């Protein structure tokens, strides 16, 4: 069954530099109209064509510069992270938000993450064909998928070579960042809990590996470990704060 039509025009390349700038505007805690104006003027200097910069600004506004969606709690949680070059959690933040906000990103990451479990590299065509099954406007999907893959490459999650996608491994050590991304994954899956095995195989992680996972969960104020009736270890949310 096809999902609802794309209503956000998610067909723009979102360079890491631009997404980072939107994130910096978000953490500046400025007036929403002011920061959106700042982003618009910044992108007009970065992107050729007023219409292209306008559409890119719309998507970056949706990613970071709004409080009118269900991701506001996830965004606000990032304010507690140190904003230093040595930490650089922003690509993880962008990805966690993108899979929750943009249907095309969610489907692309789902397809790439799923196919990468069974093959070393995935063709662009295979990704387009799978994603196209989920949307009712097939003519717009190849271009949109191409832009998403280009974005994921720039964010550092995949490599693109000769129309093939390879996932890059990323090791996340910071327990707070582990906690944040697990919350983003749960939200993307509309879940309040996930087994350790399901988390290990979750396609939305791409190549993100959580180091010292148990330690991160034990330190978390949002998550805890328990066992299911079947005996599986399960990560559960303590509070339903991200609905």
Structure tokens at 201: 């195989």
C-alpha radius of gyration, the chain, whole number:
18
Determine whether 151 is exposed, middle or buried from the number of CB atoms within 10 Å of its CB (0-12, 13-18, 19+): buried
The CATH number corresponding to 101-167 among 1.10.287, 1.10.10, 3.30.300, 3.30.70 equals 1.10.10
Are 111 and 129 spatial neighbours (Cβ–Cβ below 8 Å)?
A: no
The residues spanned by each domain of the chain are 101-167, 170-237
pLDDT in tens, the chain (243 residues): 344 444 445 789 999 999 999 999 999 988 889 999 999 999 999 999 899 999 999 999 999 999 889 999 999 999 988 765 445 578 999 999 999 999 999 999 999 999 999 998 999 999 999 999 888 777 889 999 999 999 999 999 999 999 999 999 999 999 999 999 999 999 999 999 999 999 999 999 999 999 999 999 999 999 999 988 888 899 999 865 555
Whole-prediction pTM value?
Answer: 0.92
Grouping H, G, I as helix, E, B as strand and the rest as coil, residue 177 is helix
Tokens 């983003």 locate to 184
Q: For residue 241, give the nearest of 225, 218, 221, 227 by alpha carbon.
A: 221
Q: Is the dihedral of CA 53, 54, 56, 57 positive or negative?
A: positive
- Return the number of other C-beta atoms located less than 10 Å from residue 155's C-beta: 21
Torsion-angle region of 235 (φ positive above 0: left; ψ -120 to 50: alpha; else: beta): beta
Q: For residue 62, give the nearest of 113, 6, 114 by alpha carbon.
A: 6
């Amino acid at each position: 069954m096809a999902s609802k039509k794309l209503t956000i025009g998610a067909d723009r390349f979102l360079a890491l530099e631009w997404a980072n700038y939107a994130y910096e505007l978000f953490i500046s805690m400025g007036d929403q109209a002011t920061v959106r104006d700042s982003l618009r003027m910044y992108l007009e200097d970065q992107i050729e064509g007023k219409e292209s910069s306008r559409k890119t600004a719309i998507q970056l506004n949706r990613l970071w510069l709004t409080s009118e969606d269900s991701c506001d709690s996830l965004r606000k949680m990032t304010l507690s992270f140190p904003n230093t070059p040595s930490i650089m959690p922003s690509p993880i933040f962008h990805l966690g938000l993108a899979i929750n906000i943009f249907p095309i990103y969610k489907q692309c990451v789902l397809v790439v993450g799923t196919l990468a479990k069974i093959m070393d590299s995935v063709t662009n065509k295979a990704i387009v064909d799978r994603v196209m099954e989920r949307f009712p406007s097939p003519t717009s999907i190849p271009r949109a998928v191409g832009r998403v893959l280009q974005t994921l490459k720039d964010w550092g999650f995949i490599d693109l070579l000769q129309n093939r996608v390879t996932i890059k491994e990323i090791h996340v050590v910071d327990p707070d960042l582990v906690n944040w991304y697990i919350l983003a994954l749960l939200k993307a899956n509309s879940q309040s809990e996930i087994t350790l095995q399901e988390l290990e195989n979750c396609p939305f992680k791409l190549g993100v590996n959580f180091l010292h996972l148990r330690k991160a969960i034990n330190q978390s104020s949002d998550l805890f470990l328990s066992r299911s009736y079947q005996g599986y270890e399960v990560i559960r949310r303590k509070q339903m704060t991200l609905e």
